């Protein structure tokens, strides 16, 4: 039986995406309990920023190596191990009694999380034909935003109901069970039903050529433009939502945790709309760069508005800003559309890893920088209000870097280059 024509492929699709859905939720879920962790463990704002950053740091550092490993040894094993590691990290986080345990837990979670995207793409490429794959990869991208959405009102309500430790323990246990499910779906059942079929991964990177390929990519100005483009549009949003959005809403506006979760959810709705809408606009206009430039300018204006209102814009405007910034994050899928347009398929995996590294590097940097600024002004004045104002300078600078990156994209040259190929 052919894998790509079997009904079983839909079981693979559902299992992999459900796992991604849960794993994505654990990227930002700790941001819901920032104040509680600071109180329970008696840690500073800078420590919380570092705690948030460590997961993204591990995720970022493993993107390119994970792509190379998955190409060489296959994606199934790494995805299963990733789900289990994320689950174990979340469970340990829920049982932690010291800040060092929390750091270890987030390192495990980041390691597991780093496996999901590259391996998920390769697995779907094995089980689905090209036309199906193009349609389904869009749904896969939206699944990540749905995971972030889970880590807002639903997970916040669960925390209020059973406590943060029980909520995170339950999520970790469910992820470990997903790892077991993936073993049966990706390895055991296919071995029984597709004994005579050997699936070869397209675009495998030859071991002898890996160093040469990396050297060429890292010396390509276009690749670095994509890196900085993604740096500016992803990390400011993910880093802020995953660390300081809840304390900001509670400290500056006197909101409850549930109310801030609703605000974050508005941003995630913007992300869900932004991905398909900007892709559709780009296809209609026949250009990726121009609408993406508009997105970057809009994001820059959005973050700058926080500075314009001294870190405290009116609530109605705050809702609009969260939606706009979330919309821009959803539009970040255009980065990978540019990768596919710019580079041959044999190089697009590594370039995608480099671009994704840029996005999450900014997610690593922002929570720590924001936390250090917040702690400095809180120490000086006893109030964190001014700290938030100066903290918003960081996403503004990141957005400027992203705008410079997209402006340096050479789309005309790439279109000619693509036609020649």
Q: How confident is the model at residue 338 (pLDDT cuts 50, 70, 90)?
A: confident
User: Same domain for 300 and 396?
Assistant: yes
User: Same domain for 103 and 227?
Assistant: no
CA distance to 63, 97, 375, per residue, from 250 (Å): 34, 25, 16
CA–CA dist 383, 347 (Å, integer)? 50
CATH number at residue 389: 1.20.1250.20
User: Same domain for 184 and 238?
Assistant: no
- Asked if 227 contacts 342 with a C-beta cutoff of 8 angstroms, the reply is no
User: Same domain for 342 and 222?
Assistant: yes
Q: How confident is the model at residue 203 (pLDDT cuts 50, 70, 90)?
A: very low
Q: How confident is the model at residue 67 (pLDDT cuts 50, 70, 90)?
A: confident
Task: Kindly tell me if the per-residue pLDDT of 279 is higher than 80.
Answer: no
Q: Among 44-58, 128-142, 328-342, 389-403, which range has the highest average pLDDT?
A: 389-403
Q: How many structural domains are present in the chain?
A: 2
Q: Does 401 or 204 have the greater pLDDT score?
A: 401
Q: What global pTM score does this model have?
A: 0.72
User: Same domain for 104 and 4?
Assistant: yes
Write out the residue range of the structural domain in which residue 40 sits: 1-204
CA–CA dist 208, 48 (Å, integer)? 42
CA–CA dist 229, 245 (Å, integer)? 23
Nearest to 145 by CA among 269, 257, 36: 269
């Amino acid at each position: 039986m052919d894998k790509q024509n079997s009904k079983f492929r839909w079981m693979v699709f559902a299992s992999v995406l459900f796992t991604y859905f849960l794993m994505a939720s654990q990227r930002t879920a700790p941001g819901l309990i920032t104040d509680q962790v600071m109180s329970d463990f008696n840690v500073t704002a800078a420590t919380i920023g570092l705690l948030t950053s460590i997961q993204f740091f591990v995720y970022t550092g493993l993107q390119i190596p994970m792509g190379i490993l998955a190409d060489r040894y296959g994606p199934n094993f790494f995805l299963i191990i990733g789900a289990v590691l994320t689950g174990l990290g979340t469970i340990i986080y829920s049982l932690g009694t010291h800040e060092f345990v929390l750091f270890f837990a987030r390192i495990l979670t980041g390691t597991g999380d780093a496996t999901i995207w590259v391996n998920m793409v390769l697995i779907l490429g094995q089980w689905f034909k090209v036309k199906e794959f193009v349609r389904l990869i869009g749904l896969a991208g939206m699944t990540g935003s749905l995971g972030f959405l889970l880590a807002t009102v639903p997970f916040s309500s669960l925390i209020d109901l059973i406590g943060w430790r029980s909520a995170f323990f339950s999520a970790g246990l469910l992820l470990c069970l997903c790892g077991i499910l993936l073993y049966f779906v990706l390895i055991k059942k296919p071995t029984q039903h597709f004994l005579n079929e050997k699936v070869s991964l397209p675009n495998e990177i030859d071991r002898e050529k890996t160093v040469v390929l990396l050297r060429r990519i890292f010396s390509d100005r276009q690749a670095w433009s994509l890196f900085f483009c993604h740096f500016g549009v992803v990390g400011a949003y993910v880093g802020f939502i995953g660390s300081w959005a809840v304390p900001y809403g509670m400290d500056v506006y006197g909101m409850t945790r549930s109310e801030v979760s609703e605000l974050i959810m508005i941003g995630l709705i913007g992300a869900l709309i932004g991905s398909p809408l900007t892709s559709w606009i780009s296809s209609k206009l026949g250009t990726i760069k121009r609408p993406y430039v508009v997105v970057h300018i809009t994001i820059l204006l959005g973050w700058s508005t926080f500075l314009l209102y001294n870190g405290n814009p009116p609530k109605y405007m705050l809702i609009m800003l969260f939606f706009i910034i979330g919309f821009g994050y959803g539009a970040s899928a255009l980065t990978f559309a540019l990768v596919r347009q710019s580079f041959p398929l044999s190089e697009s995996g590594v370039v995608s890893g480099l671009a994704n590294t840029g996005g999450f590097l900014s997610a690593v940097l922002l929570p720590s920088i924001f936390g250090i600024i917040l702690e400095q002004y809180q120490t000086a004045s006893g109030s964190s209000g001014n700290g938030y104002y100066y903290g918003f300078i960081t996403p503004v600078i990141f957005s400027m870097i992203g705008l410079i990156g997209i402006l340096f994209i050479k789309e005309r040259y790439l279109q000619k280059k693509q036609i020649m190929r």
